Structure 1
């Protein structure tokens, strides 16, 4: 059977049995979503890469220690680890001074998009930039739900579990985030298309 056809559980079992390629497959399935989510929280390429590596080191240690529970899905479990590490980093950074990076990272540069003509590409990039700016203007709890839903592709149930709130609270935060984004668009006469 091809390795790409195996379930997450089978990949984990094969990895624990000594097949390193199975972990590579598992990593490739989730690395884009996890890295993107981390970056959206920390807004620093180098820090995001460091946290991303720490996440997978923790995953490997947990798997090898036999502490991973197959009842939960691997993706949301890995995302929870990434989220918790971002929160830990945020708490630590509040205690020490921040240095702003000079390079600008654009998440849409790493996403796979069909080739468009130059004009369409420019319009899309401008629209994505405006949307990222709108997300940055949201209150922290609303911003968090938008990132987890649209960049990490988590369900509202998974978001609720990850952020330790009820599903209704997660849904409410998304609702208010959308309302606030529309309000900002109207107040500032922002054209998204």
Structure 2
């Protein structure tokens, strides 16, 4: 597990002019942030764009001296990425095309997009909360859980990627779920919509 002081020190070093500190921060959180973005947009090129836009915003905020997340760097960066993902979907929303016809019904167009958008935001918030909970797991369990849930890898692929037996990968997944449940119960977290 990472030491809590690492990110704040790197952020402070970057603000003080150490460009290398930002590179370390980006490399440190690259995998987690990229996986998060990709899980939403399912497109490598868009993931790259949003990843870069996220760090452009991070840099601008840090340079302005407007960062005050009190050591919660990763959740802050994830929130920026999440907002950029929402912006991306808003920008690229395709309006439905209609053929002229006398039985045109405005209600068939309206549907309940607002409800769907609200459900999606709630779902995103739950996924974001879950992501933060997953961070609390031991590294070996977290790795298996992410490979299985977010990358849709089989236990055989996980076994090959991590260099452990399939049974060990299965065991780690089982313990990850048990530990997640304990964290959720301990903190009285509700993960429903």
Mapped contact 2:37–2:82 kept (Cα < 8 A): yes
State the Cα distance separating 1:68 from its structure 2 match: 0.2
Q: Find out whether 1:17 has 2:16 as its counterpart.
A: yes
Unpaired stretches in structure 2, ≥5 consecutive residues: 97-118, 135-186
What is the CA–CA distance in structure 2 between the aligned matches of 1:14 and 1:44, rounded to whole Å?
33
- Superposition TM-score, scaled by structure 2 size: 0.52
Unpaired stretches in structure 1, ≥5 consecutive residues: 98-138, 157-166, 174-193
State the Cα distance separating 1:169 from its structure 2 match: 8.9
State the Cα distance separating 1:44 from its structure 2 match: 0.8
- Superposition TM-score, scaled by structure 1 size: 0.52
What is the CA–CA distance in structure 2 between the aligned matches of 1:40 and 1:55, rounded to whole Å?
16
Q: What are the superposed Cα offsets for residues 132-176 of structure 1, whole Å, 9 maximum, x if unpaired?
A: xxxxxxx745753564356xx2239xxxxxxxxxx9896113xxx
What is the CA–CA distance in structure 2 between the aligned matches of 1:29 and 1:96, rounded to whole Å?
39
* Structure 1 segments (4+ residues) deviating >4 Å: 167-170
Aligned to 1:172: 192
Aligned residues: 117
CA spacing shift, 1:37–1:170, aligned 2, 3 Å = farther
Of 151, 155, 158, the residue aligned with 2:133 is: 155
What is the CA–CA distance in structure 2 between the aligned matches of 1:51 and 1:21, rounded to whole Å?
22
| Cα root mean square deviation, aligned | 3.1
Aligned to 1:56: 55
What is the CA–CA distance in structure 1 between the aligned matches of 2:16 and 2:23, rounded to whole Å?
14
Of 130, 133, 144, the residue aligned with 2:124 is: 144
Aligned to 2:66: 67
